Amino acid sequence: MSDAVPPAPSGAAAADARLPLFFKRIEALDSAAHRRLRLKPRESHAFARGSNAIPLTFSEIPLAAQEYPIVFAGDGERLHLVALVGLTDADNLFIGDDGRWQGRYVPAFVRSYPFALGQANGAQDDQFLLAIDPGADTLSDTEGAALFDENGARTATLERMVQFLSLYQAQMDLARAFARKMAELDLLVAVDANIRTHSGARYAMTGLRVVERESLQRLPDAIKLELFGSEWLEMIHHHFASLRSLPALVDRLAARGAAAAAAA
């Protein structure tokens, strides 16, 4: 089974590069093998603690931009959008000590776990399989809402998840198209973030890419009109606005460092 979602940038990869982000194992959901499987309410987002960036879909950009810096990651066909949730490798600043997500908006990628849409080897582009991480703490044989009924048919709980993932996949395709368009128009530039907290600690992030304002302004009016008509121009400005959240992310990092120092 191949990964149907984009990989995260350095420091936010799954333990096995062949697996979707957050997944320790992956299995195709099967009504016979998983007949007794149930889904419990999520009580913790600790599975995302080691991820400093989360993939974003197209429709999420306006909401995510209010809280997270949004940048471009990957290359070629793997180019995609991510929300920065940390400034150092394997550290999500939005996961509290209790494992709960501390931001107002939880990205759809996080909400979809432990489910994913995957493609069987050799399958057509529009043929997807529903997959799970069987070790996720929200899956149980004894607690929660059943995924299959006694006849092996999908329950309403599972149908809602399938619908959610289908919409997610469509919006992820739009996000990839948006990212590719930015690259085709030569609007993306690499930037390095050199960060210094109030305590004097220094951090550096490299390999980030953002839309360059000057390049956008130099585009012919016909191209700008095309971007406006496809909502891409609006999303570019949400991307610009999102970068103002970087100082707040630095403050989170400083607060975590101060708390660790006080505890020590």
The Cα angle at residue 76 between residues 75 and 79, in degrees rounded to 5: 55
Cα distances from 79 to residues 8, 108, 109, 166, in angstroms, run 10, 18, 16, 20
Q: Which two tokens stand for residue 17?
A: 């590069």
Give residue-wise pLDDT tens across range 101-114. 999 999 999 999 99
What are the sequence ranges of the domains in the chain?
27-263
Instruction: Assess contact for 20 and 5: CB atoms under 8 A.
Output: yes
Q: Which two tokens stand for residue 214?
A: 């000057």
Of 10 and 39, the one with more pLDDT: 39
Instruction: Assess contact for 68 and 48: CB atoms under 8 A.
Output: no
Q: How far apart are CA 58 and CA 173, in angstroms?
A: 8
**Res. 7 pLDDT band, cuts 50 70 90:** very low
Instruction: Assess contact for 128 and 78: CB atoms under 8 A.
Output: no
Q: Quick one: CA torsion of 176, 8, 206, 57, rounded to 10 degrees?
A: 40
Least confident of 99-103, 160-164, 180-184, 200-204: 200-204
Sign of the CA dihedral 11, 235, 62, 129?
A: negative
Q: How far apart are CA 264 and CA 262, in angstroms?
A: 5
Instruction: Assess contact for 180 and 79: CB atoms under 8 A.
Output: yes
Of 71 and 15, the one with more pLDDT: 71
- Judge whether residue 8 has pLDDT over 70: no
Over its C-alpha atoms, the chain yields an Rg (Å, rounded) of 20
- Judge whether residue 264 has pLDDT over 80: no
Give residue-wise pLDDT tens across range 210-248. 999 999 999 999 999 999 998 999 999 999 999 999 989
Residue 150, by phi and psi: left (phi above 0), alpha (psi -120 to 50) or beta? alpha
Helix axes 232-242, 221-229, angle to 10 degrees: 90
